[in-house]
Structure 1
């Protein structure tokens, strides 16, 4: 549009010419009134004279130029709108495909690993030749293994952070990174489908344009998503990158039923020529069913005690200098603590972390030295001591909390747990005494100290480490006479969880609301366990024996739809509203999966 005049000046000029033309035509009309032409030919000549005398031709030229400019402007605008519509369509399609994969939110776990990271730890691996080759060469597959609590997950977080920095460089711009953390705390993060779908979803977020084959795969299989389809999706996505890097943590926390499938899937990724540009690092304990990985990985890295001890020394140096509680200790005491903990750790970061939490409780150096002289020899002994230190008053509440966190299929919000552990099954009409509620739900974490429980950014509570769950389920815990009271408090966990959920849903305050099983509901702001109980109770009931299962089902049915109402026919409208309860009852019979 080089011929387009300046907008304001052009409009002013156009307006002036139009006013002049308008004046000349007005004069022409007046002239015709006073001096009418004797013939049509004379009239036309007069008009011709006026048009030549005026700036009428300039006006016409300018209007023409503006017309051309407006046509060009509208054409460009329409083209831009079409381009924007196309981009929106592509972005919506990308969102639909990512949603279809239903990947787990691995970013939350990654953020937690970075919060626990201490400067300097893991540098031995990040600077090693094997990791440099992993970044620069294709076909590199590494297996990092070690004992429980040796810091594998924190190292995975450091590897991911390092790879993110690497991929920001220009020579790596056409490379992709995806990661996954298996987790004992969430059943959705214990399956191979969960792993593959998460990796595929992350790659779809990073690829500039979705490959047509992925779009076709999505449209052909929109109602299903199997392991075979997910592997096919990875093969397609692999072609969109020069190289792909996977970091997969805690293979040993995969569900028992998926162990063989896990090894088979990793073997497929390692041997399939269509996936040759995929590098991966996996971490785990050295479990027997994973030994065959040695046949497919390019290098196996063992986190030995000597390697981990250097990281533990970094960890302790940072802790003792930066935390206010420890900063007040004198230098000799810090050295004594450091050496005692490194010696007792035997390569277990987790053990050191637990002892640090216990040492925080010591008020004087003499107490600290006494605690160092009787350090527990193992993680199991550490957990036992923590449990035995819990007061009788707090023991019941902590036992209930541990049941909820250990046996629930996924993490539960802290507000719901604070409500669950105070619910008394034998109370009148199952109503909750308002005075029994925690003013601050986060106070429930103090029941077991920082060594057993932790809440993430989403305010969902988990055990601090997989080894805590293993200990609570172990034969040693069950058979230890010193822990008999804990065993009694935690027996029949699924019956307890089922009864609490059903009892809670049966409280008069909740049942009295005709929309008590609908969402959203104002009751959620007061009865924080309502939604969790409504959604999860079938999963708990399903773990019970059949006679108990039937009794529990009858209990909830009677609470939701009392027999006297059923006989009179009243309340039918209310019963129809309990669609969620009906669906839950069907789950028990196997028509739905928990």
Structure 2
């Protein structure tokens, strides 16, 4: 026989679980304002009167069956289980609170009324079942199940209205919560079937367990479906991912970098949330001042204050459109907030029309989507670094769009980290708090230089006197840097390569004036290398400067042993040491060969005096190397399996992905550079490649337009010109087509992943 104390324990536990599940603990005090059904009707009448004055009558009578059934339930448990008044209060208090909160928005108010209307008939008519409660004590446990169901409904609804974004994203977020309530309604129906004389305690326990399982199963199924939709959409859009760049920059940041910025008044004001706080912060500085490292610190700091989105842009990135930057920001935001992810999936995937294509290619739609998510997200910081390294049209479009978003979303803050270039200055000079990095970072440079020098000298093998002299020679370095971290880095890495104190003394007696002079000294040292080594050095610098995409160390190792016109490709037998061949101008990051800074490329191609590099020669070499490689006997159709296996093991195919995906683009750039007349050697190699690659059985289908690709200089080789044009057409279709696609990723991405591997 069930005692009232035992039954009351189940009610008390349900109450405790309900409070634990509320996302906002402050709601507890508001759930006791109404404790009777009369209090509910009084509030409903008051609300009805207010709505009639505002001409917003929404039919509050819809909730009458629900309230009346709850009234019967409250009377039954009060009589037969003798529950405490605070339990009864939990039946009525949440109704008033839900009606109060939801009435702020017509759609939400109507939705809550409709749910209550639906739940009313599902609840049993408890007043007609009093005989069961009088004769069967086990029925008291069934009553506790209904209490749990009722509290489940209240908890789901109150937690929904606790979301800061519910008003903005109601139509996107409510369906998932409405579906949860449907699961609760199904549980109520199951529990209603337990209202009979034959009920056993085991049946009640099983029903309680099934209630939890049903709820968890729904949550898991919904989350799984949502994840599938989200990742399918992300795969289709393929937004740039800047996380690896951010992590690399963060880990290489010297301790103490940016301490001065955290104490800057303008920066502190920008960080604050409020209407009086500025929305835009411009971290401005000369090349090499360390802006990117400071930007990474800002990202880290703002993560503690709200949502933090970022884009680390670079001249090295093949940025085809401003839209890709916004795609990245949209998906970063969706990854940070499950509810925003739900809203994004609902907007894109749940309509009759599949909107993925619009998100990918329609600027207005993408920006509107981004703004909607931001408006619901709360305080959000966006950090954009390296905007000045992009073309002026892309700079202009990105700034126009993001500043328009800021006008719509007062909760969003923007930090731009860049040089002072005309396009950016026109947009930000009157809109932003501006802080000059190079005028504030001298102590940070001193700390960086001291750390690097100590680290180097500690393992250099120089005696104490030599170390003391070197430190003295480097004493003026921080001042000479004039706000440029890069200058200090280049000087230190330059002398680290020198073998003795005399050479170091010679280099440091007069420090170079600025980056260009520092680069010039490095090139002069390279020009003293033996001719064979110098040739390799020039070739590496040329490829990094002029290749249409980044190249890996392993690809470069093979490119160096290919001699244009030679069908036989030698085997790679050595590892590339870029420090010996290129000095500190080049760094290897995750196997990719990169200039240490974009100013290196600008200097080599535009400003250096010794003409070490020629853009035309570089493009010709890259094109000729690709054509020679693809025309080599390695790719003969009659090659045996043993030959292919030997080539694989020896690494002979390491340049294949680069050459096969980039040969046509390299050739286009080369033809464009030489304009009217292409070099004879290039034309001969193209003819040879065309002869070896022609497939007479293949139907090309659609025509191609070589004029579009400016291939007129190849007009004397019409068939070869047609081959180049079709290869370029295919590359463009992979980049721009929204119809030809695979949810597993594009061919271009697979090629990129293969090259990285």
TM class by smaller structure: 0.7 to 0.9
SS, match of residue 105 in structure 1:
coil
> Judging changes above 3 Å, is the alpha-carbon distance between structure 1 residues 514 and 422 closer, same or farther for their aligned structure 2 residues?
closer
> Who is 2:252 aligned against?
116
Residue matched to 1:149: 288
Point out where structure 1 has 5 or more consecutive residues left out of the alignment.
4-60, 567-571
Q: Aligned partners of 1:494 and 1:140: how far apart in 2?
A: 44
Segments of 5+ residues of structure 2 without an aligned counterpart are: 8-196, 702-719, 736-757
Deviation at 1:216, TM superposition (A): 4.5
Shift of residue 63 of structure 1? 12
2:271 aligned residue? 135
| Aligned residue in 2 for 1:276 | 410
2:434 maps to 1:297? no
CA offsets, 1:103-159, max 9 Å, x none?
Answer: 212112212222331112211002222222222224421111111111111111222
Partner of 1:107: 243
CA shift for structure 1 position 456: 1.6
Bigger mean CA deviation after superposition, 522-531 or 312-321: 522-531
- 2:657 matched to which residue of 1? 531
Residue equivalent to 1:318: 451
- Which residue of the partner structure matches residue 351 of structure 1? 487
C-alpha contact (below 8 Å) 2:270/2:279 kept by paired residues: yes
The answer to whether residue 441 in structure 2 is matched with residue 308 in structure 1 is yes
Deviates most, 196-205 or 536-545: 536-545
Among residues 199, 203, 208, which one is paired with 2:333 in the alignment?
A: 203
1:422-451 residue CA offsets vs partner (Å, 9 max, x unmatched): 211132x2x2222xx24334x2453112x1
Kindly state the Cα deviation for residue 227 of structure 1 after the two structures are TM-superposed.
Answer: 2.6
Distance 2:545 2:532 in 1: 21
Q: Secondary structure at the match of 1:300?
A: strand
Greater alpha carbon shift after TM alignment, 535-544 vs 91-100? 91-100
Q: Work out the CA distance in 2 between the residues paired with 1:234 and 1:161.
A: 22
Give yes or no for the alignment of 1:460 onto 2:592.
yes
Could you tell me which residue of structure 2 aligns to residue 215 of structure 1?
A: 345
How far apart in 1 are the matches of 2:368 and 2:249?
31
The one of 728, 731, 736 aligned to 1:588: 728
| 1:505-546 residue CA offsets vs partner (Å, 9 max, x unmatched) | 121112337899xxx998495410001111112221222327
Q: SS of the counterpart of 1:531?
A: helix
Partner of 1:32: none
Distance, in Å, in 1 between the alignment partners of 2:307 and 2:640 is 47
> Aligned equivalents of 1:92 and 1:424: distance in 2?
49
Q: 1:473 aligns with which of 595, 605, 616?
A: 605
Does the aligned pair in 2 maintain the 1:453–1:461 contact within 8 Å? yes
Give the TM-score taking structure 1 as reference length: 0.75
Give me the TM-score of the superposition, normalised by structure 2.
Answer: 0.59
Map of 2:220 onto structure 1? 84
Answer with 308-317 or 286-295: which moved more: 286-295
Rounded to whole Å, the distance in 2 between the matches of 1:438 and 1:162 is 47
**Change in 2 beyond 3 A, CA 1:74/1:558:** farther
| Contact 2:237–2:356 (Cα < 8 Å) also in 1 | no
What is the correspondence of 1:29-428 to structure 2 with a 5 Å cutoff? 66=202, 69-70=205-206, 73=209, 76-138=212-274, 139-164=278-303, 167=304, 172=305, 175-188=306-319, 191-210=321-340, 214-219=344-349, 220-224=354-358, 225=360, 226-270=362-406, 272=407, 274-305=408-439, 307-323=440-456, 324-325=458-459, 332-333=468-469, 335-390=471-526, 391=529, 392-427=531-566
CA shift at 1:332, angstroms? 4.2
State the alpha-carbon separation in 2 of the partners of residues 521 and 78 from structure 1: 58
Q: Name the CA distance, whole Å, in 2 between partners of 1:82 and 1:514.
A: 57
Instruction: Supply the distance in 2 between the matched residues of 1:102 and 1:433 (Cα, whole angstroms).
Output: 38
Conserved in 1, the CA contact under 8 Å of 2:340 and 2:377?
no
Q: How big is the alpha-carbon RMSD for the aligned residues of Structure 1 and Structure 2?
A: 3.6
Segment of structure 1 superposing worse, 74-83 or 276-285: 74-83
User: 575, 579, 593: which one pairs with 1:440?
Assistant: 575
Q: Given that residues 512 and 518 in structure 2 are in contact (C-alpha distance below 8 angstroms), is that contact kept between their aligned partners in structure 1?
A: yes
8 Å CA contact 1:560, 1:575 repeated in 2: no
Aligned pair in 2 of structure 1 residues 71, 290: CA closer, same or farther (>3 Å)?
Answer: closer
Inter-partner Cα distance in structure 2 for 1:376 and 1:559: 52
**8 Å CA contact retained: 2:392, 2:423:** no
Contact in 1 for aligned 2:470/2:505 (Cα 8 Å): no
CA–CA distance in 2 between the matches of 1:162 and 1:205? Answer: 19
1:506 pairs, out of 621, 631, 645, with: 631
Matched residue SS, 1:200: helix
Q: Deviations over 1:375-416 (max 9, x none)?
A: 222322222222222212222212222222122233222211
Q: Give the Cα separation in 2 of the matches to 1:209 and 1:316.
A: 46
Q: Mark the CA change 1:433 to 1:545 in structure 2 (over 3 Å): closer, same or farther.
A: closer
Cα deviation digits, residues 291-334 of structure 1 (max 9, x gap): 213345331111244x2322111111211223334695557435
2: CA distance, partners of 1:553 / 1:405: 23
Structure 2 contact 559–625 (Cα < 8 Å) conserved: yes
Q: What's the secondary structure of 1:144's corresponding residue?
A: strand
Q: Distance in 1 between matches of 2:237 and 2:420?
A: 30
